[in-house]
Each structure stands twice: as C-alpha cells, then as structure tokens.
Amino acid sequence: MDDVVGLVSRHGPLLLAVICFIEAIGLPLPAAIGLLGAGALTRDGQLAFPHAFACGIAGLLAGDLLLYAIGRFTGWYFLGLLCRLTASPESCIYNAAQMFYRRGRFALLFAKFVPGINTMGAPLAGSLHMSFPRFLAYDCCGVLIYAGTYFGLGYTFSRFLESMVRWISSAGEVVKFVLLAALIVYLLYRGWLAWRLRVNFLDIPRITPVELAQVLEKCPAEMVVYDVRSHGYYSYGALRIQGAERLEPNRLAEALADIAKGKRIYLYCT
C-alpha cells in the first residue's frame, strides 16, 4: 500500500489515471488503494482535488469504454478469455450474466465493487448490445460512485491511513514476509480449488456428436436433448441439433417442472 501511495504522491494524478485504467481492463493493479491514497494526499495538500479525482475517473472510464467496444465487436468470445483466468470459467460467465439478467443496466452502478464481476460489466454490456448512450450514462454513474467512495474514505481517514503506512514501513521485512506468505497460501488455495473443480467436471458423463446421432436414430422416443446455451451464446439463426428443446440456464429453477420424466436427458452448449 505504501508503494502505491508513494508513487501517486511522486508522479501525481496522471499515474492515478494509469493505475485506474490498468485495473479497469482486468490487470491486477489496486485502483482502490490508489484512490484511497489520492484522497488522503488531497487532504494533506499534496494533490489538487479536481485534478486527482478527474484523472481517476478518466482512467476508469477509458478502460470501461475499451472493454465495452471489445465486447460489442467480439461478443462472448472476449468474456470467455477473461473467464479462463478464473478457477471456474463456466460459473464466471454464468454469474456475470445472472447479475445483468436480475439487475439490468443498474448492475453497472455497483459492478466495480464485486470481485470477479468488476471487469466483466463493460464487455458484458457490449456483448448484450446495450446502446452506447445508455451504457455511458450508467457506467459514468457507477464510476463516480466507485471513485467517490474510495476517494472520500481516503480523504476522511487520511490520518489513519498515514499511520498505517508508517507502521507498514517500520515493520519492514516482517510485514512483507506475512504478505508474501498470505499470497502464496491464497494462490495454493485457488490452485487446489481449480483442480477440484476440474476433477469433478471430468466425472460428468460425456458423449460425442456422432454417438448422440446414433442414439437419436435408434431410440428417439426414449431420450430428450436440451440446448442449454446461455442467452448471449444462443441465437435463433445458429445451427442446433434437430429436435433439441430450448432450456434457458438462467431460468433453470422454473424449468425443472417441465423437464421430461423417465427419459434419458442429454445437454449440450457451446
């Protein structure tokens, strides 16, 4: 934390804009800490409030606009790339889409506060073809809420943050060792979680398209095929297995009563 605050203090609002932009596009730089530090430095008179706050907002907006454009032109492909970095890519896309289905455009107001969703909001809005003026309006409000919250906390609790930075600096190697150990434990946990999810996924019975076609030809009355592609991947003009029924994954709880009973069920997606 002291490194980030020190950099912002030495290089000014422009560096804050860069930090916010880099975090907005999904890279692990702590924009929240940068905004906290900028707020504290503003109260101490080391930074000018209008410049620092405007640069933080500009960095966040620039990153969001870039991801919105990428999502608009690549569809769900870019979201898939982002989610491959997580322990469970399938649930990553599902959770992000679920938030938008439930909250609509208002999800952009608080998406930046939700870990794992903060980078997904802008490209998801683009892939779902949210109009640019509507996206810009709601994203601006979300950025103002996010930046204003951390900037305001930094300004209000500047003395506490200053004391904490001094304590971290005085503790020196001990704190660095604890932070490094915590990071290693966290990475090991994420690796174990990813391994467990992959192992469980490999246990799911699978069938190839050729095998499914053979089964459909022999006993079509004893089975049912569901197309469970999520809304963003599903298109009425796309190729589908003949005879497959549509099952919207976001409405799975409602659709359970209509799922065929006494038949072998096959699911497919892309």
Give how far Cα 184 sits from Cα of 29, 30, 85, 188, 194, Å: 18, 18, 17, 6, 15
What is the predicted pLDDT for the residue at 68? 92
What is the predicted pLDDT for the residue at 120? 83
Q: Taking a C-beta distance cutoff of 8 angstroms, is the pair 266, 207 a contact?
A: yes
Model-wide pTM > 0.85: no
Tell which phi-psi region holds residue 104, choosing left (phi > 0), alpha (psi between -120 and 50) or beta. Answer: left
pLDDT at 211 exceeding the cut of 70: yes
Residue percentage of the chain with pLDDT more than 90? 12
What is the predicted pLDDT for the residue at 31? 82
Average pLDDT over residues 223-227: 82
Token digits of residue 178: 């604890």
CA gap 121, 24 in Å, rounded? 10
What is the predicted pLDDT for the residue at 66? 94
What is the predicted pLDDT for the residue at 145? 94
Q: Strand locations in the chain, DSSP E? A: 223-227, 245-246, 264-268
Report which of 51, 25, 29, 47 is spatially closest to residue 37, judged by C-alpha positions.
47
Average pLDDT over residues 42-57: 83
Average pLDDT over residues 11-34: 81
Report which of 226, 212, 222 is spatially closest to residue 256, judged by C-alpha positions.
226
Average pLDDT over residues 157-178: 62
Q: Taking a C-beta distance cutoff of 8 angstroms, is the pair 252, 265 a contact?
A: no
More confidently predicted of 248 and 253: 248
Average pLDDT over residues 174-189: 72
What is the predicted pLDDT for the residue at 91? 62
What is the predicted pLDDT for the residue at 184? 83
pLDDT at 151 exceeding the cut of 50: yes
Average pLDDT over residues 182-189: 75
Mean pLDDT for all residues in the chain: 76
> What are the structural domain ranges in the chain?
2-171, 209-268
* Least trusted range by pLDDT, from 16-30, 62-76, 251-265: 251-265
More confidently predicted of 68 and 37: 68
Give how far Cα 123 sits from Cα of 41, 68, 211, Å: 33, 4, 36
What does R_g of the chain's alpha carbons equal in angstroms? Answer: 24
DSSP state of 260: P
Report which of 234, 225, 208, 204 is spatially closest to residue 93, judged by C-alpha positions.
234
What is the predicted pLDDT for the residue at 6? 54
Give how far Cα 235 sits from Cα of 22, 40, 59, 132, 241, Å: 33, 50, 35, 22, 13
What is the predicted pLDDT for the residue at 2? 45
- Rounded to the nearest 10 degrees, the angle between the axes of helix 31-43 and helix 158-171 is 120
Which residues fall within 8 angstroms of residue 234, CB to CB, at 6 or more apart?
Answer: 227, 246
What phi and psi values does residue 18 have, to the nearest 5 degrees?
A: -65, -45
State the number of CA atoms in the 13 A half-sphere of 255 facing the CB: 13
What is the predicted pLDDT for the residue at 27? 78
* Least trusted range by pLDDT, from 39-48, 125-134, 138-147, 228-237: 228-237
